[in-house]
């Protein structure tokens, strides 16, 4: 981190709508707050498995609330999350593993595309309600984010490489080590220690802790 700037890490998965909200808000605040924002693509499925967490929608009452909450949050933060009744099912039926490996491959090779690429995945899944798990759809997302056909193809091939798989596992393990049990997990390194904030509704608290 640059002198006197607080390193803020955002652990996220594009299957998580609250991660999108947290991502957009932190993207806005990185120009206002004295922070260095670092995007850490990780795998939500892995975090849930290790910590024994369950998708909130598995509790019907909570699932009902979640849809209303997402609608309100999306409007408040002006992020185009379009909520529909079958979203919980879509989330449970979709694996984000290939997408997160693809994003990891880009993070390792062309990190300048990390922000627009991640955003396009959320746009496709949460705004346009389209698939993000099949290779042809992953490539479509990448090209939408400004990656060349050649670069998209190369990153797609990297998905099955041990280097990319291991990097995603390591990042996910790191989030768990900080205490994450879901997404987004925001870790602020302040005063010589890491402070974990869970969810996109703790960002004013984050600001307060780091003196913003």
Q: CATH number of the domain at 196, please.
A: 3.40.30.10
Average pLDDT of 143-171? 97
CA distance 179 to 187: 10
What number of residues does the chain have? 212
What is the total count of domains within the chain? 1
Residue 176 is assigned to a structural domain of this protein: yes
Residue 99 is assigned to a structural domain of this protein: yes
> Which tokens is 19 given?
């991660």
For the question of residue 16 being annotated catalytic, the response is yes
Residue 106 is assigned to a structural domain of this protein: yes
What element of type H or E holds 163?
helix 162-177
CA distance 84 to 90: 10
* Domain boundaries, position 74: 6-206
SS3 state of residue 186: strand
3, pLDDT greater than 70 = no
pLDDT of residue 54: 85
What is the four-CA torsion angle of 150, 109, 187, 197, rounded to 10 degrees? 10
pLDDT of residue 1: 46
**Residue 35, phi then psi, degrees to nearest 5:** -130, 155
| pLDDT band, residue 64 (cuts 50/70/90) | confident
| pLDDT band, residue 50 (cuts 50/70/90) | very high
Residue 211 is assigned to a structural domain of this protein: no
Residue 145 is assigned to a structural domain of this protein: yes
- Which of 16, 19, 152, 200 does the annotation list as catalytic? 16
∠ CA 57-205-127, rounded to 5°: 40
Residue 53 is assigned to a structural domain of this protein: yes
Average pLDDT of 19-38? 96
Residue 1 is assigned to a structural domain of this protein: no
């Amino acid at each position: 981190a640059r002198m006197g700037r607080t390193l803020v890490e955002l652990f996220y998965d594009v299957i998580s709508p609250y991660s999108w909200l947290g991502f957009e808000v932190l993207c806005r605040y990185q120009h206002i707050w004295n922070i260095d924002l670092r995007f850490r693509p990780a795998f939500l499925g892995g975090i849930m498995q290790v910590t024994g967490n369950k998708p909130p929608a598995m509790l019907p009452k909570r699932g009902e609330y979640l849809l209303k909450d997402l609608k309100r949050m999306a409007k408040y933060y002006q992020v185009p999350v379009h909520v529909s009744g079958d979203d919980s099912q879509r989330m449970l039926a979709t694996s984000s593993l290939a997408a997160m490996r693809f994003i990891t491959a880009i993070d390792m090779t062309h990190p300048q595309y990390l922000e627009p690429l991640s955003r396009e995945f959320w746009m496709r899944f949460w705004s346009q309600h389209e698939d993000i798990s099949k290779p042809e759809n992953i490539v479509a997302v990448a090209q939408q984010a400004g990656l060349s056909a050649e670069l998209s193809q190369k990153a797609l091939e990297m998905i099955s490489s041990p280097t990319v798989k291991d990097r995603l596992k390591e990042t996910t393990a790191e989030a768990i080590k900080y205490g994450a049990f879901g997404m987004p997990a925001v870790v602020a390194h302040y005063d010589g220690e890491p402070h974990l904030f869970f969810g996109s509704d703790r960002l004013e608290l984050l600001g307060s802790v780091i003196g913003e």
